[in-house]
């Protein structure tokens, strides 16, 4: 690897103290750009594998970073990016092998009809382009999205993201966007306890059918249906079996196309399959990928059928993206896909994910606050409730646990869902069974402490570590000399 001395200096030579960093951020960065742990934000200066390190050298187990898909600073990914950057980086209107190899590999992992790529820089861009493709192909405007969905931050995709436009101050939903309920059988519009022995896929797809019928009655047609294959911001939702097959049939019968947003859950995260939509036995018309594709580098793609791509070409309007598909981005994406295969990370997600889910389900026998445990592979959600019978969400407890996991155990988790009561886990794919045990031990401590200390809805005022406490991962650096030692090992491993 080049620049070993600079790497050491970057990791160990703090340019600004944390308070100065915060002061400059408050002055020059828009306040709408939110931080994790806003009351006590982390200053992360280095990452390796499934770990991140702050400016004091404290090591945190990363259970939420689905961007660093194959692990922070994976040496093969770093090497591929550095080599290509030192060679040439230009736009994709020149021929280069990394682009076509990336397209070949990516489409080779898709079902047969999905064989044409468009490269972009992010998930937001991918979903924006998917909307353009769908509307151009069908010559229609109306789209169906799911409640609580998040598809990006561009204007076009904010319009199909109830997770955003339903917030106070959000722009109103356009008339051409139609919202179907999120297929959450535990806490959603239609709960399995309210419909015993019912076909929940049929119940949740009926609103989609109703929207299509209403559009037809109005003399309109449907452009398409977009959905995350597994809804993340909506609370780690696993749709009921058969949901997408039924939904896709309804949409296609109405003349629309089906878009799978795999930005958060693709590239083997579900363990059993490379793409999450495959777990439902469906083939979308358009697939959007991004985040994990670049392991932290901004790269994404839209994959579609030759027919939809041909219709887009026939508009006569050329598609040009200055940075989408540049050689550096494609070299990095190629390296990520090679690492997934070479290191068996999809299988690791299946094995470790199954173990993690099994152990988390055991918590339900001990702690009444655990309402539901759900997931596929390394995509796990733990829903916290005040009462199992009513399934009333416990938002306060979820936030308290997120903070305690960070402050006491140096483990990073987050909460989400419409009530922010779902602890969600989406760690790097190198997450091991040892890491799972580390999380389980810490999470058990939080639940036990919570159970003993709670008084109604009143939680302990502080999560501060006392003088006798020890971290769950057992790792804390005493001085900056130890940072040098760890960085030395990192560079040698590269």
pLDDT tens readout for residues 329-354: 999 999 999 999 999 999 999 999 99
Map residue 477 onto helix, strand or coil: coil
Q: Please write the tens of the pLDDT for every residue from 203-227.
A: 999 999 999 999 999 999 999 999 9
- Two tokens, residue 494: 């590269």
Can you give the pLDDT at residue 481?
36
- Two tokens, residue 30: 């828009």
Whether the per-residue pLDDT at 491 is higher than 60: the answer is no
Average pLDDT, the chain: 90
Q: What percent of the chain has pLDDT over 70?
A: 89
Residues 6+ apart with CB under 8 A from 220: 140, 142
Q: Is residue 402 part of a domain?
A: yes
The residue out of 322, 343, 364 marking a domain boundary is 343
More confident residue, 485 or 371: 371
Q: Is residue 494 part of a domain?
A: no
- The separation between CA 228 and the C-alpha centre of its own chain, rounded to angstroms, equals 10
Per-residue burial over 239-276, b = 16 or more CB atoms within 10 Å of its CB, e = otherwise:
bbebbbebbbebbeebbbbbbbbbbbbbbbbbbbbbbb
Are the beta carbons of 428 and 71 closer than 8 angstroms? yes
Map residue 439 onto helix, strand or coil: helix
- Two tokens, residue 78: 């770093």
Whether the per-residue pLDDT at 257 is higher than 70: the answer is yes
Q: Is residue 227 part of a domain?
A: yes
Map residue 109 onto helix, strand or coil: coil
- Two tokens, residue 343: 């290191």
- Two tokens, residue 11: 């990791």
Per-residue DSSP letters for 23-53? HHHHHHS-TTS--SSTTS---EEEEEBTEEE
Q: Please write the tens of the pLDDT for every residue from 436-447.
A: 999 999 999 999
What is the C-alpha separation between 212 and 221, in angstroms, rounded? 8
Q: Please name which of 460, 451, 394 lies closest in space to residue 423, comparing C-alpha atoms.
A: 394
The residue out of 309, 343, 377 marking a domain boundary is 343
Can you give the pLDDT at residue 178?
97
- Two tokens, residue 483: 């940072």
CATH of the domain at 90: 3.40.640.10
Q: How would residue 479 be classed by pLDDT, with cut points 50, 70 and 90?
A: very low
Between 9-18, 256-265, 362-371, 403-412, the lowest mean confidence (pLDDT) is in 9-18
Residues 6+ apart with CB under 8 A from 100: none
Residue 316 to residues 138, 148, 156, Cα–Cα distance (Å)? 16, 36, 22
Between 80-89, 243-252, 452-461, the lowest mean confidence (pLDDT) is in 452-461
Map residue 262 onto helix, strand or coil: coil
Question: Could you list the residue range(s) of the whole structural domain that residue 330 is in?
Answer: 75-343
The C-alpha angle with vertex 270 and arms to 266 and 274, in degrees rounded to 5, equals 50
Map residue 265 onto helix, strand or coil: coil
Residue range 445-466: average pLDDT? 70
Can you give the pLDDT at residue 482?
41
Q: Is residue 482 part of a domain?
A: no
Q: Are residues 121 and 225 in the same domain?
A: yes
Q: Are residues 258 and 349 in the same domain?
A: no
Q: Please name which of 228, 127, 124 lies closest in space to residue 183, comparing C-alpha atoms.
A: 228
What is the C-alpha separation between 73 and 66, in angstroms, rounded? 13
Q: Please write the tens of the pLDDT for every residue from 140-198.
A: 999 999 999 999 999 999 999 998 888 888 888 999 999 999 999 999 999 999 999 99
Q: Is residue 38 part of a domain?
A: no
Q: Please write the tens of the pLDDT for every residue from 382-394.
A: 999 999 999 999 9
Whether the per-residue pLDDT at 4 is higher than 80: the answer is no
Q: Are residues 319 and 444 in the same domain?
A: no
**Domain count along the chain:** 2
Q: Are residues 104 and 224 in the same domain?
A: yes
Q: How would residue 259 be classed by pLDDT, with cut points 50, 70 and 90?
A: very high
Can you give the pLDDT at residue 353?
98
Q: Are residues 124 and 249 in the same domain?
A: yes
Q: Please write the tens of the pLDDT for every residue from 84-102.
A: 999 999 988 899 999 999 9
Are the beta carbons of 363 and 357 closer than 8 angstroms? no
Q: Are residues 242 and 281 in the same domain?
A: yes
What is the C-alpha separation between 186 and 182, in angstroms, rounded? 11
Q: Are residues 284 and 363 in the same domain?
A: no
Q: Are residues 330 and 275 in the same domain?
A: yes
Whether the per-residue pLDDT at 103 is higher than 70: the answer is yes
Map residue 286 onto helix, strand or coil: strand
Q: Is residue 333 part of a domain?
A: yes
Q: Please name which of 265, 312, 263, 320 lies closest in space to residue 290, comparing C-alpha atoms.
A: 263
Q: Please name which of 172, 158, 147 lies closest in space to residue 124, comparing C-alpha atoms.
A: 158
CA trace torsion 171, 172, 176, 181 (10° rounding): 110
Q: Are residues 300 and 388 in the same domain?
A: no
CATH of the domain at 402: 3.90.1150.10
Q: Is residue 116 part of a domain?
A: yes
Q: Are residues 196 and 232 in the same domain?
A: yes
Between 100-114, 303-317, 459-473, the lowest mean confidence (pLDDT) is in 459-473
Q: Is residue 281 part of a domain?
A: yes
Q: What percent of the chain has pLDDT over 90?
A: 79
Q: Are residues 256 and 381 in the same domain?
A: no
Q: Please name which of 124, 490, 130 lies closest in space to residue 305, comparing C-alpha atoms.
A: 130
Q: Are residues 314 and 368 in the same domain?
A: no
Can you give the pLDDT at residue 492?
30
The residue out of 289, 308, 343 marking a domain boundary is 343
More confident residue, 15 or 311: 311
């Amino acid at each position: 690897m080049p620049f070993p001395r600079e790497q050491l200096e970057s990791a160990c030579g703090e340019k600004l103290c944390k308070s100065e960093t915060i002061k400059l951020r408050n002055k020059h960065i828009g306040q709408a750009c939110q931080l994790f742990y806003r009351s006590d934000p982390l200053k992360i200066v280095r990452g390796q594998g499934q770990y991140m390190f702050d400016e004091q050298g404290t090591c945190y187990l990363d259970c939420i970073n689905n961007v660093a898909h194959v692990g922070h600073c994976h040496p093969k990914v770093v090497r591929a990016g550095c080599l290509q950057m030192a060679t040439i980086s230009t736009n994709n209107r020149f021929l280069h092998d990394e682009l076509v190899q990336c397209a070949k590999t990516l489409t080779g992992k898709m079902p047969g009809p999905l064989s044409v790529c468009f490269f972009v820089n992010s998930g937001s861009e991918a979903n924006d382009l998917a909307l353009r493709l769908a509307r151009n192909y069908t010559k229609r405007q109306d789209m169906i999205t799911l409640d609580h969905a998040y598809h990006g931050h561009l204007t076009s995709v904010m319009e199909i993201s109830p997770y955003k436009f339903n917030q106070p101050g959000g722009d109103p939903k356009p008339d051409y966007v139609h919202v179907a309920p999120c297929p959450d059988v535990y806490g959603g519009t239609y709960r399995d306890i309210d419909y015993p022995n019912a076909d929940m896929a049929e119940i949740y797809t009926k609103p989609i059918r109703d929207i299509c019928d209403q559009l037809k009655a109005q003399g309109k047609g449907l452009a398409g249906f977009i959905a995350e294959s597994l809804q993340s911001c909506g609370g780690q939702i696993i749709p009921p079996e058969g949901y997408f097959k039924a939904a896709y049939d309804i949409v296609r019968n109405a003349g629309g196309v089906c878009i799978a947003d795999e930005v958060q859950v693709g590239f083997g995260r579900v363990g059993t399959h490379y793409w999450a939509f495959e777990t439902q036995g469906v083939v979308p018309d358009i697939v959007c990928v991004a985040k994990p594709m670049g392991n932290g580098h901004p790269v994404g793609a839209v994959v579609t059928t030759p027919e939809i791509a041909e219709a887009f070409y026939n508009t006569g309007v050329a598609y040009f993206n200055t940075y989408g598909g540049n050689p550096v981005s494609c070299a990095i994406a190629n390296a990520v896909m090679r690492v997934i295969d070479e290191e068996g990370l999809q299988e690791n997600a299946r094995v470790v994910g199954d173990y993690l889910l099994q152990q988390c389900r055991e918590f339900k026998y001990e702690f009444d606050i655990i309402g539901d445990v759900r997931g596929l592979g390394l995509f796990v959600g733990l829903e916290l409730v005040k009462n199992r019978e009513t399934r009333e969400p416990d938002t306060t407890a979820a936030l308290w646990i997120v903070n305690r996991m960070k402050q006491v155990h140096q483990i990073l988790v987050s909460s989400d869902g419409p009530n922010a009561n779902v602890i969600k886990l989406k760690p790097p794919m190198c997450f091991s069974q040892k890491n799972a045990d580390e999380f389980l031990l810490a999470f058990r401590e939080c639940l036990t402490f919570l159970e003993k200390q709670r008084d109604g809805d009143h939680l302990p005022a502080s999560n501060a570590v006392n003088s006798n406490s020890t971290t769950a991962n057992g790792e804390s650096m005493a001085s900056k000399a130890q940072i040098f030692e760890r960085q030395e090992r990192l560079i040698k491993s590269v």
